[in-house]
Amino acid sequence: MKKVLFDKIINTEKTDLYDNQFLFEYLSQDSIESWLEVIFMSDLLEEKKNIEILEKVKQKPAMYSNVYSPEDELEIFKELFEDAIKNNKKIHIVWVTLDEEIKILEKYYEELWFLREDINCFAPDFSLALVTVSVNIENLIWKGSDYKAQRENIFFNPPIRESWQTKAMFKWINRWVIAWIHLSSPSDRRELEEGIKEFLSNCIREEKILSLTLAKVLKFNLNQIWFIWEEKELIISY
């Protein structure tokens, strides 16, 4: 087994050197402590829940995305972002879903000189950024076309967006703008946990997310923002 660290992969003692398993560490939401303000987008979006659309979802499940509309989410994000910049306040926003949100963040990170032109990616020092964000694992696994088959299984808040928005989240992970992947599945939902492991395995096999990048967005980027948490282990086959 190989352990994936911030900038290298090492063999772990007393394990098979030739197996196909990576050992990652990740942040457990249950034990987050931080000196900066952590904001859950779901809490603010719940106040804007569209009950009228929710009543139509049984017949047209894809409409669920507008129960918590992208327009409302973007408006909330802009307000949070502008307030943080204006008042020199450090915040971390959990669970963004929109390409438009990350483009705002991208422009800000360019102004902080985080863009490396030689690799056309960002190399942010998250301790210096006033605003950092996370994407939820479900918003990487699913896309809008899955509503028809999955229905209430993927009725999250914030919701699953259109497929191009899902692809955008991968783009911004790999350009090193999104700081964290939020693993939110409850420990008693065993089949969901196994589904997450299989999804992440496929991401590594298909090189949708490189192993070192995955290690950063599961744990190490949050080190820079001085998050304190109980470290949990995640074994991923590749």
Quote the pLDDT of residue 165.
Answer: 98
In a domain, 39, yes or no: yes
In a domain, 209, yes or no: no
Residues facing 4 on adjacent strands: 9
pLDDT over 70 (residue 189): no
Q: How far is CA 159 from CA 17, 54, 102, 155, 214, in A?
A: 41, 12, 17, 6, 23
For residue 104, the one-letter residue type is I
Q: Which structural domain, as residue segments, surrounds residue 163?
A: 30-198
For residue 30, give the nearest of 220, 233, 230, 218 by alpha carbon.
230
CATH number at residue 69: 3.20.20.140
pLDDT single digits (tens) 61-92? 999 999 999 999 999 999 999 999 999 999 99
Distance CA(77)–CA(79), nearest Å, equals 5
* Summary count for the chain: helices (H), strands (E): 10, 10
In a domain, 6, yes or no: no
In a domain, 51, yes or no: yes
pLDDT level of residue 54 (50, 70, 90 thresholds): very high
For residue 26, give the nearest of 132, 183, 210 by alpha carbon.
183
Quote the pLDDT of residue 217.
Answer: 96
For residue 203, give the nearest of 158, 229, 166, 157 by alpha carbon.
166
In a domain, 224, yes or no: no
DSSP characters over 53-108: HHTTTTT-GGGGGGTT-HHHHHHHHHHHHHHHHHTT--EEEE----HHHHHHHHHH
Token readout for 42 is: 């779901």
Q: How many domains does the chain have?
A: 1
The torsion defined by the Cα of 128, 132, 137 and 140, in degrees rounded to 10, comes to -100
pLDDT level of residue 15 (50, 70, 90 thresholds): confident
Quote the pLDDT of residue 222.
Answer: 86
pTM, two decimals, is: 0.91
In a domain, 171, yes or no: yes
pLDDT over 70 (residue 227): yes
pLDDT single digits (tens) 148-170? 999 999 999 999 999 999 999 99
For residue 110, give the nearest of 170, 178, 181, 177 by alpha carbon.
177
Quote the pLDDT of residue 108.
Answer: 98
pLDDT over 70 (residue 97): yes
In a domain, 156, yes or no: yes
pLDDT over 60 (residue 223): yes
Quote the pLDDT of residue 188.
Answer: 40
In a domain, 216, yes or no: no
